[in-house]
Every structure is written in structure tokens, then in C-alpha cells.
Structure 1
């Protein structure tokens, strides 16, 4: 993931000026990386290393979403809507 792309994702999801590690930001960064790896796998179907990493990232995002849902349901719903995840 390019540094500028990561900065744009952080700016879109940060809760305050110096926020870089809140659950929302982490979920957004994981989602951007998942999209990037998914597009890579469509072009390179036999890349098993990328596939393992993609599954690892999906699991991390799932756990972060479960944590956020347990801690603050309103923030969870806002992130889901903003990322366009669960329909």
C-alpha cells in the first residue's frame, strides 16, 4: 500500500487530529489492503503466499469489527456504512 493512499484512508476515518490507531482507522486500512490484494489475486491466481496473507487480513478485520461492535455499536454501524461492507 502506498504511503499517500494510507494517509488518505487515515484522514477519512480518524476521530481527531492525531488519530492513527483507533479501531475505525485500523479497519479502514485493513479493508484497503484487502481490496488491493484481491485485485492482485485476480491477475495472479496461483500466488498462494498472497492468498494466505489475504486470509490473515480478513481474519484481523473480522476480529476488529467484532471488537468495535462489542464496544460501541454506533461507531460500528458508521464504519460498516462508510466502507460498504455488510449489506
Structure 2
């Protein structure tokens, strides 16, 4: 339900369903599900590894979006309640 509402918001803005915003949204949902899973199962090391991989992918996509279009980056960060990435 949440995914469908976000798809409709993004599809109104852009015609590309594989946009960076949508990918970051999907990764954010996976991250939230995995963190709640890891709170119950603290020794699930394979899920921890998967979480770290997804976090890295999302970080790279956000860095790309920041480099290409800062306004879209700021809007996406505020919509998904994500902290800004650290500047290196």
C-alpha cells in the first residue's frame, strides 16, 4: 500500500519507474524491515551482511543523486526521513 502510493507520486513526476528515487525508496523499506528483524534476532549474521550491502547501495545512489541534482536529493531525504550522507 505504501509502495503503491509512492509509485504514483513518483510516476506523476517522472515517467521512468527505475528512477533513483524509487530505488532509494525500495532500499529504505528493505532496510527498515531488516532492522526490525535484527532487533528480534540479534545473531542473524547473514541478515546483518545483507543489511550492510543494501545500506551501501543506497548510500551510493544518494551520493549520485546529490552530485546530479541537489534539489531532488533534499526532497527525497525529507520525504523518507533519512539523515544526510556525510561529505567525504
Q: TM-score range by the shorter chain?
A: 0.7 to 0.9
**In structure 2, what is the Cα distance between the partners aligned to 1:12 and 1:57?**
23
- Runs of 4 or more, structure 1, over 2 Å off, are 4-16
**Number of residue-to-residue matches in the alignment:** 83
Q: Structure 1: give runs of 5+ residues left out of the alignment.
A: none
Q: Structure 2: give runs of 5+ residues left out of the alignment.
A: none
TM-align CA RMSD: 1.7
Structure 1 residues 1-87: aligned runs within 5 Å: 6-14=3-11, 15-16=13-14, 18-86=15-83
**In structure 2, what is the Cα distance between the partners aligned to 1:38 and 1:45?**
10
**In structure 1, what is the Cα distance between the partners aligned to 2:27 and 2:18?**
12
TM-score normalized with structure 2 length: 0.83
